[in-house]
């Protein structure tokens, strides 16, 4: 009898406090709290997760999620400003932006200096579900997060409007983003795949990326607006993806190449995790992350999780059930100077919420590869630049948290802040 009562108590504690233990967990290459690589940034490996309930309020059925009635611009503004101050350790957004530019320039052999008028900053959106300028119910970059980012760059960072490029080389920038940003900042440049309606049509430099392994017919050109920019901001989305398991900042670089607007016409070589045997292998995403004009030029990685989604296509769905979300939208953004660490936290959030999603097995492989350069488990010599420069050091720090309840890391410096 005592044994039965003890078992019941133990199971009750597990269910209440550690429900993830009772869920089927996907297979990963790296175990919890086993950091790999070396952190990047003012505080190496720092990732800031800002949670602001109420920034996204769509009921899931009425109209489109991009409408003003379903989103709070002030909350989005607060999220961006808090994110960059927490990331840099500065108290004021203006000083935070200056610190980010100085740190980036000092690590890119430009001297420890801030932004200079005339230098171009390209913001790479994720509009993967937009083929026209018409707004859609499907999940793409948030107009509210995009405007908040631009507002902070201009008003806090002192960036000239004409030096900011909002771009999506592989898809279309929808009206909700263009109109909202252009109305307040008419000097900003917009570039997308189709052009027109105030957007410039993207042009490309051919043969800009040299893949480190045989990648078949995968796109090799890169958008001119990306190559010619002095700084990049990767504004990705928090959602799963059939095949690679997740689509975060690393996969967002694929949209900077000269792929076809119709996704079925494109190569997707070495994107997916190996779900059969878990053996190490070359991963295309690492070439994107290490390329001098993609991940190598990115001063800020941002994952927009104001809605977040279990599905790569369609409307945002479902609402997030587990703490701290409690049947609301994710209402979060994740930022870092370290692209590997940023994706690692985004991955842990997605797996923690939907552990039974079918494509998660071994989806951390590209992060393990990126963090273990120059000796990745696959044995690949990563050399993505057309000039033949071999990558010789880790692209960041990779680690999984201990569990979705405590969310503790040993190497990644995660700051969670609820507004």
CB–CB of 302/236 below 8 Å? yes
DSSP 8-state assignment for residue 155: I
What is the spatial distance between Cα 224 and Cα 246, in angstroms, rounded to a whole number? Answer: 27
| Nearest residue to 283 (alpha-carbon basis) of 297, 293, 292, 273 | 273
What is the spatial distance between Cα 277 and Cα 357, in angstroms, rounded to a whole number? Answer: 18
What is the spatial distance between Cα 219 and Cα 363, in angstroms, rounded to a whole number? Answer: 22
Residue carrying structure tokens 């052009």:
195
Per-residue pLDDT of the chain (419 residues; tens, 9 = 90+): 444 444 444 444 444 444 444 457 899 999 999 999 999 999 999 999 999 999 999 999 999 999 999 999 999 999 999 999 999 999 999 999 999 999 999 999 999 999 999 999 999 999 999 999 999 999 999 999 999 999 999 999 999 999 999 999 999 999 999 999 999 999 999 999 999 999 999 999 999 999 999 999 999 999 999 999 999 999 999 999 988 999 999 999 999 999 988 878 888 899 988 766 788 999 999 999 999 999 999 999 999 999 999 988 889 999 999 999 999 999 999 999 999 999 999 999 999 999 999 899 999 999 999 999 999 999 999 999 988 899 999 999 999 999 999 999 999 999 999 99
Cα–Cα distances in angstroms (integers) from residue 290 to residues 96, 234, 261, 298, in the given order: 25, 14, 25, 10
């Amino acid at each position: 009898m005592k044994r039965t009562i003890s078992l019941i108590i133990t199971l009750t504690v597990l269910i209440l406090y550690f429900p993830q233990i009772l869920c089927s967990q996907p297979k990963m290459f790296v175990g919890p709290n086993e950091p790999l690589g070396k952190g990047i940034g003012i505080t190496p490996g720092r990732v800031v997760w800002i949670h602001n309930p109420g920034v996204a309020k769509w009921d899931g059925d009425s109209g489109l999620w991009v409408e003003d009635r379903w989103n709070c611009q002030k909350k989005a503004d607060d999220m961006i400003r808090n994110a960059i101050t927490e990331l840099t350790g500065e108290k004021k957004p203006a000083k935070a932006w200056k610190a980010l530019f100085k740190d980036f320039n000092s690590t890119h052999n430009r001297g420890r200096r801030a932004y200079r008028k005339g230098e171009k900053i390209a913001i790479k959106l994720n509009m993967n579900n937009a083929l026209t300028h018409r707004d859609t119910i499907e999940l793409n970059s948030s107009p509210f997060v995009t405007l908040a980012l631009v507002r902070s760059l201009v008003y806090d960072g002192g960036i000239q409007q004409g030096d900011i490029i909002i771009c999506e080389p592989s898809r279309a920038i929808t009206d909700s983003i263009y109109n909202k940003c252009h109305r307040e900042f008419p000097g900003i440049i917009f570039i997308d795949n189709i052009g027109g309606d105030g957007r410039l049509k993207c042009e490309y430099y051919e043969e800009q990326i040299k893949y480190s392994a045989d990648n078949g017919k995968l796109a090799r050109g890169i958008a001119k607006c990306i190559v010619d920019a002095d700084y990049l901001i990767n504004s990705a989305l928090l959602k799963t993806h059939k095949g690679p398991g997740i689509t975060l900042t690393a996969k967002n670089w694929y949209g900077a190449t000269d792929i076809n607007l119709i996704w079925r016409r494109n190569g997707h070589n070495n994107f997916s995790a190996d779900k059969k045997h878990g053996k190490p292998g070359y991963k295309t995403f690492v070439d994107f992350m290490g390329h001098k004009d993609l991940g190598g030029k990115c001063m800020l990685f941002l994952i927009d999780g104001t809605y977040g989604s279990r599905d790569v296509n369609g409307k945002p769905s479902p609402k997030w059930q587990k703490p701290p979300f409690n049947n609301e939208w994710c209402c979060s953004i994740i930022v870092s100077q370290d692209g590997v660490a940023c994706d690692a936290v985004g991955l842990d959030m997605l797996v923690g919420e939907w552990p039974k999603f079918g494509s998660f097995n071994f989806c951390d492989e590209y992060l393990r590869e990126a963090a273990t350069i120059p000796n990745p488990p696959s044995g690949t010599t990563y050399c993505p630049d057309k000039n033949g420069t071999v990558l010789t050091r880790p692209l960041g720090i990779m680690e999984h948290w201990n569990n979705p309840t405590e969310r503790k890391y040993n190497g990644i410096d995660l700051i969670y802040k609820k507004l």
